[in-house]
Amino acid sequence: IVEIRSVRVGVVAIKSVHTGFYLAMNRKGKLYGTREYNPNCKFKERIEENGYNTYASLRWRHEGRQMFLALNGKGAPRQGGKTRRQHLSTHFLPILVS
């Protein structure tokens, strides 16, 4: 379970409820967790036409293209430079948990 916090309009930070770590992406597009909130933790949130959300690194780009948060079929993170907005692996459906 993760908590999606709004940083400013269209920009979010993603934090694990269990561990308290923030999700971050480095310049190579690798996802990692950090206890300290920093500029690598900011993601641009976009609601797609199909109702799903995509999250792109606000700070880093790969060859001019956005790097997206994505998971493969086994739930492991994908390298940011190999992701595109159209890939289904980048589409997430946030659900409210109380």
Above pLDDT 90, what percent of the chain? 96
Where is pLDDT greater, at 25 or 98? Answer: 25
Token readout for 96 is 């409210």
Q: Assign residue 40 the CATH number of its domain.
A: 2.80.10.50
pTM for the model: 0.94
pLDDT band at 18 (very low <50, low <70, confident <90, very high): very high
Kindly tell me the sign of the dihedral angle through the C-alpha atoms of 73, 78, 81, 84: positive
In total, how many domains does the chain have? Answer: 1
Instruction: Answer yes or no: is 54 within a domain.
Output: yes
pLDDT band at 97 (very low <50, low <70, confident <90, very high): confident
Give tens-digit pLDDT for 48-94.
999 999 999 999 999 999 999 999 999 999 999 999 999 999 999 99
Kindly tell me the sign of the dihedral angle through the C-alpha atoms of 21, 23, 28, 30: positive
**Containing structural domain, residue 37:** 2-92
